[in-house]
């Protein structure tokens, strides 16, 4: 026989001739009853005639609360105004809406809210709006810029540029309505030669959407990246009276550093 109240259920001796067997049959102190919520029971054997079970039913579940209150918002480490103070990009090419994590000189995590109002969707594609892969890479590079254009690294918005990518892979399409979460991590920095290497990963709903290696360069070395060695040497020798032999040695070392990254 079982007698139920608001908080206790008593199984009397008349219905359980050998209550000790009940403890052996239950692997855990919980019991699910068909057609009802899970009931969490705490068993206590106080005497030979009664088995006492306390009933603890959760007051609410996730399904009881409105869907708009179940999921917390992303934190804000840098808002759009702070991002605009760091990055030189403006509409329609500023592709970072918020920074949600920032480790000075190491890494940053930023988000891009992809909406149907983005100006690239009318052409890519009219019937199936997909964010272009090159813009995903650009958005990741801008998150990298948040790390590199900081005093801890020594960069400046006037002289730091996106120089190249490597091992880029697109894992899933990003469509209107998605939130692109991008993590950029500095893995190598050569201040002497003005180059930096960062690893980037972008996610949608926890799934990897894009990844790749990003290369950044200081402005002073961008002409070298453009393969204008002769013009650069001539300009520097004329204006700064720098020895051409020393510049040639610098050029050779710079190429070796880029190759080793």
Taking a C-beta distance cutoff of 8 angstroms, is the pair 124, 84 a contact?
A: no
User: Which residue from 120, 222, 133, 211 is spatially nearest to 168, judged by alpha carbons?
Assistant: 211
Question: CA 217, CA 191: separation in Å to the nearest integer?
Answer: 10
Q: Which of 124, 214, 221, 241 is catalytic?
A: 124
User: Which residue from 38, 43, 50 is spatially nearest to 14, judged by alpha carbons?
Assistant: 50
Whether omega for the bond prior to residue 106 falls within 30 degrees of 0, making it cis, is no
DSSP 215: E
Active site residue 214: no
SS3 letters across 111-162: EEECCCCCCCCCCCCCCCCECCHHHHHHHHHHHHHHHHCCCCCCCCCCCEEE
If residue 204 lies in a helix (H) or strand (E), which one and from where to where?
strand 195-204
Which three-class secondary structure state does DSSP give residue 6? Answer: coil
CA distances from 78 to 35, 59, 65, 135, 181 (A): 49, 37, 30, 21, 14
Taking a C-beta distance cutoff of 8 angstroms, is the pair 211, 168 a contact?
A: yes
β-pair partners for 56: 40
Residues recognised as catalytic = 124
């Amino acid at each position: 026989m079982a007698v139920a109240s608001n908080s206790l259920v008593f199984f009397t001796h008349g219905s359980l001739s050998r209550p000790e067997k009940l403890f052996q049959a239950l692997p855990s102190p919980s019991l699910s009853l068909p057609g009802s919520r899970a009931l969490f029971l705490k068993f206590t054997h106080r005497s030979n005639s009664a088995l006492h079970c306390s009933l603890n039913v959760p007051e609410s579940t996730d399904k009881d609360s409105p869907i708009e209150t179940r999921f917390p918002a992303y934190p804000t480490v840098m808002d759009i105004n702070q991002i605009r103070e760091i990055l030189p990009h403006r509409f329609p090419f500023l592709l970072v809406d918020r920074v949600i994590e920032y480790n000075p000189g190491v890494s940053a995590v930023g988000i891009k809210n992809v909406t149907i109002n983005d100006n690239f969707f009318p052409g890519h594609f009219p019937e199936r709006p997909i964010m272009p892969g090159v813009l995903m890479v650009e958005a990741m590079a801008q998150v990298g810029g948040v790390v590199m254009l900081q005093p801890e690294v020594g960069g400046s918005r006037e002289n730091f540029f996106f120089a190249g990518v490597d091992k880029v892979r697109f894992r899933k399409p990003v469509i209107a309505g998605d939130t692109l979460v991008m993590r950029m991590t500095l893995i190598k920095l050569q201040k002497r030669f003005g180059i930096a290497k960062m690893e980037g990963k972008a996610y949608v709903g926890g799934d990897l959407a894009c990844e790749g290696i990003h290369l950044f360069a200081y402005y002073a070395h961008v002409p070298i990246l453009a393969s204008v060695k002769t013009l650069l040497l001539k300009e520097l020798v004329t204006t700064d009276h720098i020895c051409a032999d020393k510049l040639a040695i610098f050029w050779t070392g710079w190429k070796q550093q880029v190759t080793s990254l």
